Chain A
Amino acid sequence: MSNKTVDPDVRAKIETSPFAAALGITYEEIGSGYCRVSLEIKPQHLNFHGTTHGGVIFALGDVAFAAACNSYGQTAFALNVDVSFLTGTSVGDHLVGEAKEISLNGPIGLYALTVKHAETGTLVAQSQAMAYRKRDSLI
């Protein structure tokens, strides 16, 4: 992970994600190859069991991942993501999603994603995500 700060225009572009806004996800921090986001679970996020839909948990990590791999200003997209769901969550839970770069080699970046309970740090889901960076600029 480089220590370079993220171009303010790139950051602003990343934060316009309509989907993140629709789910209620907040961007907390974006750095080079890094992002942290948060989400409070609401009734519309629940599945049949009354727990948070796995897709919502995945999406929280995915939004952080998208920001982290696009943070250099080159358009990047996901190739492949593995996820493991470790514990359930429900309405009122405050979750934190984090994406950290493990490796960046040419166009291929690999990121470790976690979703945790904000207060306790308990691991909710863990993912590994591979991204492809195009030559196009994000802005």
Chain B
Amino acid sequence: MSELNDVIATADSPDPADGLRAASVLRKLAEQIEAKHVVAARRAGWSWQEIGDALGISRQAVHKKHRSRDV
């Protein structure tokens, strides 16, 4: 999490190197958050369609991406 805090602090940094790194780390973070919460949603009984609707991607796409994580 300290890496995240460093990212947030530099998101408006004047140095493009920091800003670009922030974009890259945030993409990784988004993928991690998605994976974690897809698992949690499935455990809580969410259907693949409900998960897809929440993410704005198709049921098929979310299932294909995350089915190996399924409970």
Q: Do A and B bind each other?
A: no
